[in-house]
């Protein structure tokens, strides 16, 4: 068999002798033919030089050797040719400059959009809408608690989020970022107080229009400012990783420059951290960049070092802990790696070690998430087990007397169907249905399947298919043409990266929100336009710098316009109707009064008014989805008495009704009454209950507060 012969030949082939210098550098960026990853171009050996002969060391000053070894390792890790210590440190300085540049960019965009530094504490909290406010509320809880441990205990025994249930929010909501940031904040403020350094400056801001003045505080001593500042610093460091990644992948600092500039030119398509800092991806994605860099290094390395594998495991943990969606991204990665193994580009030993690191990191996350069973019943976990089983059964597969292509298909089918079946069985055994809506969402993309939960997702623009304008925007900045050229050049050389790009493309097309993975990866792939191994035939005729800068100049035409559009966004946050609502709740209701309403509003009620709520925006729990359906029946066509009885079962005291939810729709079939017509066809054609209650809430409800947006209904108890 061809595959068997190829694998045996690869495993039996003698390894070329290495110089002592090469064996000392675990971070050396040497190319690995099996990984399909072109590395930095090798310098030819002078004629007459002995192969494998150690080079005579030059005498130097005492203490110079450690610095030389450090420079060599950094140079090897970045995939650069031997050119002196100065150039290695120049690469790191350029990466640091890219980090500062991105930090400054997103900080100014956020400030220009909301005038955040001049907002009051309440206004800053209201600026964190929907799930952002929910996440920030737990940071606030720990910060304001008598002690750090007391605050952690409070979020692990939370009574406000899903009243009357007591839940461990640290287990449910991926809140380790808030726990870590709250500990840093408490340490920072106490340290500054001991030293006697002022951490914030406060002043009174006049708002005009007959509004009362507000106190606004600025500085890291303000919890909201500290929280946002750390997020922006982390995402600034992410840009340094992108520069290093582009440099390592292409073997040239020009590749790092291309990656960074492509990211800036397509900034609105790459990230939304500048508009929505508290979202989970803001904490998680930077560690995915590090993780992808480590995977690329492992695939290229001729010898695997324990440090690289441990770093991969740690980066996996830091990527998975903050974000419940991380497991789906890692699923695409191991699927791509498995496909590369099946076609014979990486050896079984290397893939097995990568799979082990994924398994260990998954187990660590399972423990740190207090036994969150969604991790063990995920497609990611099932896929890891199936791939491990396929690797263990390799001798049996090789005994099958079929063609190489047939063997590829057999292993692929074994992985696909094995993963689906194992995921189904584990979900049934553990009784987990929390991620069932993900399968329904994907089903609705290909078939005419509809239900209440699916429509809530697909009616939101970020969960719809990718906009038709998105590829056009990629084309205008020349990102798409450059990546297509690179893809054609690497399809048989950088197989893993090509497959990973295709996986991210599929995710981005199916769910528009997930282009946050596709666009940055395209920026990284664009760096390969600088690769001498891919385009050496061109660089022999034209200087590579001339080619790259000509491409960047063409990209900058639309790219600079995109940046200017972002810089021209100037606004000031104000939400007076919600401010009136929060103030009324604070001073006119009891501390234990229970509220229900639209998910975004409930997050603000919990965060700013500290009142118990029965539903919230974190929609990944089956029980919470059932609660939300009951709460949203206020926008159905059901009878008022029926809805009232269901709210009483949830122990709701007040319902916050928003008339806009009755009439607005993002597209045909997406207003709340129309969504309910799919779920409750028996009542289709009747007047929506919300329209009736806006006119007259009696006899089942009593209107106790009303302004231009909100109407608070007290549930009449029998």
Last residue of a domain, one of 155, 189, 221: 221
Q: Given this model, what pLDDT does residue 71 score?
A: 53
Token duo for residue 697: 């809430």
In angstroms, the CA 392 to CA 577 distance is: 62
Last residue of a domain, one of 522, 539, 568: 568
Token duo for residue 46: 């002078």
CA-to-CA separations, 422 to 385, 389, 417, 434, 622, in angstroms, rounded:
9, 12, 8, 17, 21
- Mean pLDDT, residues 14-38 taken together: 38
The answer to whether residue 454 sits within a structural domain is: yes
User: Can you give the residue range of the structural domain that contains 207?
Assistant: 115-221
Residue 631 has pLDDT above 60, yes or no: yes
Question: Are 611 and 595 contacting, i.e. CB atoms less than 8 angstroms apart?
Answer: yes
Residues 214 and 271 grouped into a single domain: no
Residue 29 has pLDDT above 70, yes or no: no
Strand partners, 204: 215
Which pTM does this prediction carry?
0.86
Last residue of a domain, one of 513, 543, 568: 568
The answer to whether residue 679 sits within a structural domain is: yes
Residues 602 and 711 grouped into a single domain: yes
- Mean pLDDT, residues 471-494 taken together: 90
Residues 595 and 549 grouped into a single domain: no
Q: Given this model, what pLDDT does residue 69 score?
A: 56
The answer to whether residue 81 sits within a structural domain is: no
Among 221, 144, 216, 130, CA closest to 178: 144
pLDDT band at 308 (very low <50, low <70, confident <90, very high): very high
pLDDT band at 559 (very low <50, low <70, confident <90, very high): very high
- Domain with residue 621: its CATH number is 3.40.50
Residues 274 and 300 grouped into a single domain: yes
State the virtual CA torsion across 603, 605, 609, 611 in degrees, nearest 10.
Answer: -90
In angstroms, the CA 508 to CA 487 distance is: 17
Residues 123 and 250 grouped into a single domain: no
Angle at which helices 223-250 and 253-265 cross, to 10°: 130
The answer to whether residue 595 sits within a structural domain is: yes
CA atoms within 13 A on the CB side of 209: 3
Q: Give the residue with greater pLDDT, 441 vs 477.
A: 477
Whether cis (ω within 30° of 0) applies to the bond prior to 660 is: no
- Mean pLDDT, residues 149-160 taken together: 96
Residues 562 and 591 grouped into a single domain: no
pLDDT band at 68 (very low <50, low <70, confident <90, very high): low
Task: Report the mean per-residue pLDDT for the chain.
Answer: 86
pLDDT band at 31 (very low <50, low <70, confident <90, very high): very low
- Mean pLDDT, residues 187-200 taken together: 94
Residue 57 has pLDDT above 50, yes or no: no
The answer to whether residue 520 sits within a structural domain is: yes
Residue 689 has pLDDT above 70, yes or no: yes
pLDDT band at 76 (very low <50, low <70, confident <90, very high): low
The answer to whether residue 659 sits within a structural domain is: yes
Residue 424: which residues within 8 A CB-CB, separation 6 or more? none
Token duo for residue 225: 């400012």
Biggest distance spanned by C-alpha atoms of the chain: 100
Span 367-385, pLDDT tens digits = 999 988 888 889 999 999 9
pLDDT band at 444 (very low <50, low <70, confident <90, very high): confident
CA-to-CA separations, 591 to 43, 73, 586, 606, in angstroms, rounded:
73, 60, 8, 11
Number of domains comprising the chain: 3
Angle CA(375)–CA(377)–CA(382) in degrees, nearest 5? Answer: 100
Residues 241 and 304 grouped into a single domain: yes
Residues 596 and 625 grouped into a single domain: yes
CA-to-CA separations, 91 to 176, 244, 251, 576, 645, in angstroms, rounded:
33, 8, 12, 49, 66
Residues 365 and 445 grouped into a single domain: yes
Q: Given this model, what pLDDT does residue 316 score?
A: 97
Residues 216 and 234 grouped into a single domain: no
The answer to whether residue 364 sits within a structural domain is: yes
Residues 211 and 247 grouped into a single domain: no
Span 159-168, pLDDT tens digits = 999 999 999 9
The answer to whether residue 192 sits within a structural domain is: yes
According to the 3-state scheme, what is the secondary structure of 414-448? HHHHHHHHHHHHHHHHHCCCCCHHHHHHHHHHHCC
Residues 365 and 341 grouped into a single domain: yes
């Amino acid at each position: 068999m061809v595959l068997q012969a190829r694998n045996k030949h690869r495993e039996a082939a003698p390894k070329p002798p290495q110089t002592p210098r090469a064996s000392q550098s675990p971070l050396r960026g040497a190319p690995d033919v099996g990984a399909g990853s072109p590395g930095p171009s090798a310098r030819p050996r002078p004629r007459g030089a002995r192969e494998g002969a150690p080079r005579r060391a030059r005498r130097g000053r005492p203490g110079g050797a450690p610095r030389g070894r450090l420079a060599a390792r950094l140079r090897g890790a970045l995939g650069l040719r031997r050119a002196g210590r100065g150039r290695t440190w120049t690469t790191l300085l350029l990466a640091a400059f890219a980090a500062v540049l991105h930090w400054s960019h997103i900080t100014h965009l956020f400030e220009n959009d909301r005038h955040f530094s001049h907002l009051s504490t309440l206004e800053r909290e209201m600026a964190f809408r929907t799930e952002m406010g929910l996440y920030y509320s737990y940071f606030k809880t720990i910060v304001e608690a008598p002690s750090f441990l007391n605050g952690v205990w409070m979020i692990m025994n939370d009574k406000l989020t899903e009243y009357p249930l007591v839940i461990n929010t640290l287990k449910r909501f991926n809140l380790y970022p808030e726990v870590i940031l709250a500990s840093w904040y408490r340490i920072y403020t106490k340290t500054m107080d001991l030293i006697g350094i002022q951490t914030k400056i406060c002043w009174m801001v006049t708002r005009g229009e007959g509004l009362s003045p507000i106190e606004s505080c600025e500085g890291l001593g303000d919890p909201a400012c500290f929280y946002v500042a750390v997020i922006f610093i982390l995402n600034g460091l992410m840009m340094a990783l992108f520069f290093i990644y582009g440099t390592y992948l292409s073997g040239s600092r020009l590749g790092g420059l291309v990656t960074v500039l492509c990211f800036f030119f397509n900034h609105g398509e790459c990230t939304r951290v500048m508009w929505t800092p508290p979202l989970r991806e803001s904490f998680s994605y930077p560690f995915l960049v590090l993780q992808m860099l480590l995977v690329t290094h492992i695939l290229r390395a001729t010898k695997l070092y324990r440090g690289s594998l441990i770093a991969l495991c740690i980066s996996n943990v830091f990527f998975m802990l903050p974000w419940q969606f991380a497991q789906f991204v890692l699923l695409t990665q191991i699927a791509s790696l498995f496909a590369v193994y099946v076609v014979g580009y990486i050896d079984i030993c290397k893939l097995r070690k990568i799979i082990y690191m994924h398994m260990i990191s998954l187990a660590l996350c399972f423990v740190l998430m207090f036994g969150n069973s969604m991790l063990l019943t995920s497609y990611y976990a099932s896929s890891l087990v199936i791939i491990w089983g396929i690797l263990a059964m390799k001798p049996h597969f090789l005994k099958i007397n079929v063609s190489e292509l047939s063997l590829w298909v057999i292993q692929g089918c074994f992985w696909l169907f094995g993963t689906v079946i194992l995921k189904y069985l584990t979900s049934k055994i553990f009784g987990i249905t929390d991620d069932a809506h993900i399968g329904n969402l994907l089903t609705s993309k290909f078939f005419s399947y509809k239900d209440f939960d699916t429509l809530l997702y697909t009616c939101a623009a970020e969960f719809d298919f990718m906009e038709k304008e998105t590829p056009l925007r990629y084309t205008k900045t020349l990102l798409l043409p450059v990546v297509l050229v690179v893809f054609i050049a690497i399809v048989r050389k950088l197989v893993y990266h090509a497959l990973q790009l295709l996986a991210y493309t599929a995710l981005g097309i199916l769910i528009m929100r997930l282009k946050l993975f596709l666009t940055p990866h395209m920026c990284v792939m664009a760096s390969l336009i600088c690769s001498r191994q891919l385009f050496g035939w061109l660089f022999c005729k034209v200087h590579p710098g001339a080619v790259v800068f000509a491409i960047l100049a063409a990209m900058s035409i639309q790219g600079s316009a995109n940046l200017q559009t972002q810089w021209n966004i100037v606004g000031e946050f104000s939400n007076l109707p919600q401010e009136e609502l929060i103030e009324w709740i604070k001073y006119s209701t009891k501390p234990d009064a229970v509220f229900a309403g639209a998910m975004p509003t409930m997050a603000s009620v919990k965060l700013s008014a500290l009142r118990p709520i029965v539903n919230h925006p974190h929609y990944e729990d089956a029980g919470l989805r059932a609660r939300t359906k009951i709460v949203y029946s206020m926008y159905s066509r059901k009878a008022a008495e029926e809805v009232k009885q269901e709210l009483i079962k949830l122990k709701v005291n007040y319902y916050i009704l928003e008339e806009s939810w009755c009439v607005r729709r993002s597209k045909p079939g997406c207003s709340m009454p129309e969504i309910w017509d799919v779920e409750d066809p028996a009542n289709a054609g009747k007047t929506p209950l919300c329209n009736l209650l806006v006119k007259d809430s009696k006899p089942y409800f009593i209107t106790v507060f009303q302004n231009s947006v909100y109407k608070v209904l007290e549930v009449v108890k029998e």
